[in-house]
Amino acid sequence: MAKIIIDGKEWEFEEGMNLFEACTIARGGEKLPHFCYHPGLPVAGVCRMCQVEIEGVPKLQIACNSTVRDGMVVNTRSERVENTVRQILEFHLLNHPVDCPICDQVGECALQDQYMKYGLYETDVDVGDKVMKHKAQAIGEHVMLDAERCVLCSRCVRFTEHITKTNEMGIFNRGNHSEVGVAPGLSLDNDYSMCVVDLCPVGALTSRDFRFRKRVYRLSSVDSVCPGCATGCNMRIEYADGVIYRQKPRTNLAVNEYWMCDQGRLLYKHVGGDDRLEEPFVREDGELSPVGWDHLWSALKARWEGLGESRRLVLVGSPHATLEELYGLKSLLADAAGGRVLGHRLDGTEMDRDDGFLMAADRTPNDQGARRLGYEAFTASELHDAGGEDALLVILDNDLAGLDEAAAEALGSYGAVAYLGWRENATSRVADFVLPGLSYAEKDGVFVNKDGRAQRFFKAVDGPRQAREDWRLIAELGEIFGHTPTWRAHHDLLSELSARLDAFGALAGGIGEEGTLLDGDSAAKEVERG
**Contact footprint for another protein (CB under 8 A):** 100-102, 106, 135-136, 211-213, 215, 217-218
Sheet holding 516-517, edge to edge: 445-448, 453-457, 516-517
- Of 99 and 352, the one with the shorter C-beta distance to another protein is 99
What backbone phi and psi angles, to 5 degrees, belong to 206? Answer: -130, 160
CA distance 211 to 105: 10
Contacts of 277 (CB under 8 A, 6+ apart): 421, 422, 423, 424, 428, 434, 436, 437, 464, 467
User: Smallest distance, Å, CB 100 to another protein?
Assistant: 7
- Of 213 and 269, the one with the shorter C-beta distance to another protein is 213
C-alpha distance from residue 58 to each of 8, 68, 147, 168, 263 (Å) = 19, 17, 35, 39, 50
- Of 57 and 98, the one with the shorter C-beta distance to another protein is 98
CA distance 452 to 436: 29
User: Smallest distance, Å, CB 213 to another protein?
Assistant: 8
User: Smallest distance, Å, CB 125 to another protein?
Assistant: 23
User: Smallest distance, Å, CB 177 to another protein?
Assistant: 19
Burial class (CB in 10 A: 0-12, 13-18, 19+), 239: buried
CA distance 493 to 299: 28
Q: Which of 403, 472, 470 is nearest to 439 (CA)?
A: 470
User: Smallest distance, Å, CB 99 to another protein?
Assistant: 8
- Of 107 and 290, the one with the shorter C-beta distance to another protein is 107
User: Smallest distance, Å, CB 445 to another protein?
Assistant: 33
Computed from CA positions of residues 368, 371, 376, 380, in that sequence, does the dihedral angle turn out positive or negative? negative
Vertex 450: Cα angle to 444 and 454 (nearest 5): 35
- Of 115 and 259, the one with the shorter C-beta distance to another protein is 115
Contact 503, 518 (CB under 8 A): yes
- Of 213 and 301, the one with the shorter C-beta distance to another protein is 213
3-state secondary structure of 427: helix
User: Smallest distance, Å, CB 278 to another protein?
Assistant: 24
- Of 143 and 410, the one with the shorter C-beta distance to another protein is 143
- Of 43 and 240, the one with the shorter C-beta distance to another protein is 240
- Of 147 and 316, the one with the shorter C-beta distance to another protein is 147
CA distance 342 to 338: 13
User: Smallest distance, Å, CB 105 to another protein?
Assistant: 12
User: Smallest distance, Å, CB 464 to another protein?
Assistant: 23
Beta-sheet pairing, 51-54 with 179-182: unpaired
- Of 136 and 361, the one with the shorter C-beta distance to another protein is 136
User: Smallest distance, Å, CB 146 to another protein?
Assistant: 9
- Of 142 and 371, the one with the shorter C-beta distance to another protein is 142
User: Smallest distance, Å, CB 361 to another protein?
Assistant: 37
- Of 102 and 524, the one with the shorter C-beta distance to another protein is 102
CA distance 431 to 417: 5
| Cβ count within 10 A of residue 509 | 11
- Of 31 and 218, the one with the shorter C-beta distance to another protein is 218
User: Smallest distance, Å, CB 132 to another protein?
Assistant: 11
C-alpha distance from residue 404 to each of 183, 349, 360, 407 (Å) = 43, 8, 21, 5
CA distance 387 to 373: 23
CA distance 136 to 148: 9
Within its chain, how far is the Cα of 137 from the centroid? 28
- Of 142 and 483, the one with the shorter C-beta distance to another protein is 142
User: Smallest distance, Å, CB 326 to another protein?
Assistant: 41
DSSP sequence for 342-401: EESEETTPPP----SSS--S---S-HHHHHHTT--EE-HHHHHHH-EEEEEEEEES--HH
Q: Which of 407, 232, 394 is nearest to 312 (CA)?
A: 394
380 sits in the region (left: phi over 0; alpha: psi -120 to 50; else beta) called alpha
User: Smallest distance, Å, CB 216 to another protein?
Assistant: 11
